[in-house]
Amino acid sequence: MTAGSGYRQARWEEPPIWDLARRPVAEPAPAIPGVPERWRRQEALRWPELSEPVVVRHYTRLSQMNFGIDSGTYPLGSCTMKYNPKLSEVVARRAGAAQVHPYQPEATVQGSLEITWRLERALAKITGLPEVSLQPAAGAHGEYAALLMVRAYFRDRGELGRRTEVLLPDTAHGTNPASASMAGFAPREISSKDGCVHLSELKGALSDRTACFMLTNPNTAGLFESEIVEIAEAVHAAGAMLYYDGANLNAILGVTNPGRMGFDVAHLNLHKTFATPHGGGGPGAGVLASGETLAPYLPVPRVVKTGRRFRLDYDRPKSIGKLKTAYGNFGLDVRAYAFLLAHGEEGLRRISRRAVLNANYLGARLGRRLPRPFRPLVKHECVLSGTPLRERGVRTLDLAKRLLDEGVHAPTVYFPTIVEESLMLELPETESKRELDEFAAAVERALDDTPENLRAAPISCAVGRIDEVRAARAPILSWKDLRGAAAKVETP
């Protein structure tokens, strides 16, 4: 026997190492008594014949075709795409948090209820609004719930027939008017002046038909509505409710809060401000925080503490009812609670200070290249306009696509809608000055590129420029096997 002769044993006919395919898993189904024969699978299932490494590479490659907060900077204005600390992941994945069943008896989930209760108390302090529910699954869900609460309140007062309007500024996020209509109100837009609410216009629009005014502060132009006290007074003088869209809370954490500003009810997005995973459609975690007036209408169940025990309380006769199975997206609540404990009160103030510094630094640097439509001092995000690109026959959209070739995510574009060719930048506190400089340099390189390259971008991504109209009008939402000669994409 010579050294290495054992190699002769290997044969191509043998399955490769880690072969998943040739397992006897695909037999025709056995007969089941009482089930008609024609329902029985007659042929073996056609499993794909692939080895484990091939499958792993396929899914790894798919994951790399996407962009996430762990792949690079993500300046998506209004979305507060901050780093999600792995510490929160470790905590949320512990069995006590990850393996509980939503309908376990209360006595066996005291720890989960305590986390919920403690997080609610912390958020009450942060918002300055005393009653909190973690039930909504996202910000928009919270908006909708709050407007149902406003509806129930006016129904109780016998004013619902009359109070049919919800006012909102023209800078409002699209979910605000959508939630208002879904809750049965007529949304009505107020125009802004220099990016902020025009107080006299608001006063002109307020009447005994107004149910609610929805506002975010700082607003989507990144500007603090400094007339907020007068705004709250005017809204309340008209007998209406003031709603706080809390998506921009990152700018004011520990500095001020919606309760102090005079808001009656608010939503927060744990998946924005409190560093829980965000994007790709969820799961998100909205939060409802309410002042005394609307608190009786909060969804049930509420988590209450009696002595040292925690329980779910359904006995709230004025409640709008239950919004979601179980009690919100608990895994995200655990992550947010871990995040709050890790930072503490002073840490939260540092977060907002740093987020504001970042936005102003980015605004000042890129403001040398692109016009800034509003006053330069902003809170957590800044808005620029891509109108000068038009001279070279390109648009903000082309710039956004070109940035993808730089390996960064594009900013929010064409929102807020009151700015022509708008770009909205937000790199939150988790990004260092070095990251800000690298991002700004990427924007500058993109601006200096040729119109041809800008219009052709992206060229380095898994997917090139898509037909956005077709993607919206004729989306392909389920997998179809398009291999073979007639690989045509069907459009409905």
Residues that bind ligand PLP (CB under 6 A): 78-79, 138-140, 173, 175, 216, 220, 245, 247, 269, 284, 286
Instruction: Enter the DSSP assignment of 4.
Output: T
Residue 426 half-sphere exposure, CB side, CA atoms within 13 Å?
Answer: 32
Both tokens assigned to 439: 């991002």
Residue 124: enclosing H or E segment and its boundaries?
Answer: helix 110-127
CB-wise, 142 or 363, nearer to ligand PLP? 142
User: Rounded distance, CA 241 to CA 165, Å?
Assistant: 11
Residue 169: enclosing H or E segment and its boundaries?
Answer: strand 165-169
CB-wise, 112 or 220, nearer to ligand PLP? 220
Residue 209 near residue 164 (C-beta atoms within 8 A) = yes
Measured in Å, how far apart are the chain's first and last C-alpha atoms?
A: 68
331 C-beta neighbours (distance < 10 Å), count:
18
CB-wise, 188 or 311, nearer to ligand PLP? 188
Q: Residue with CB nearest ligand PLP?
A: 139
The vertex-189 CA angle with 186 and 195, nearest 5°, equals: 155
CB of residue 284 vs ligand PLP: minimum separation in angstroms? 5
Both tokens assigned to 384: 């620029």
CB-wise, 153 or 243, nearer to ligand PLP? 243
| Residue whose pair of structure tokens reads 């509505």 in the numeric block | 225
User: Rounded distance, CA 123 to CA 131, Å?
Assistant: 9
The closest alpha carbon to 393, from 456, 447, 451, 458, belongs to 451
Residue 379 near residue 428 (C-beta atoms within 8 A) = no
Q: Mark 190-199 as b/e (b = at least 16 C-beta within 10 Å).
A: bebeebbbbe
User: Rounded distance, CA 322 to CA 300, Å?
Assistant: 5
The closest alpha carbon to 427, from 74, 94, 16, belongs to 74
CB-wise, 419 or 447, nearer to ligand PLP? 419
Both tokens assigned to 240: 């209406």
Residue 296 near residue 264 (C-beta atoms within 8 A) = no
The closest alpha carbon to 28, from 12, 20, 39, 13, belongs to 39
Residue 77 near residue 381 (C-beta atoms within 8 A) = yes
User: Rounded distance, CA 338 to CA 83, Å?
Assistant: 14
User: Rounded distance, CA 292 to CA 295, Å?
Assistant: 5
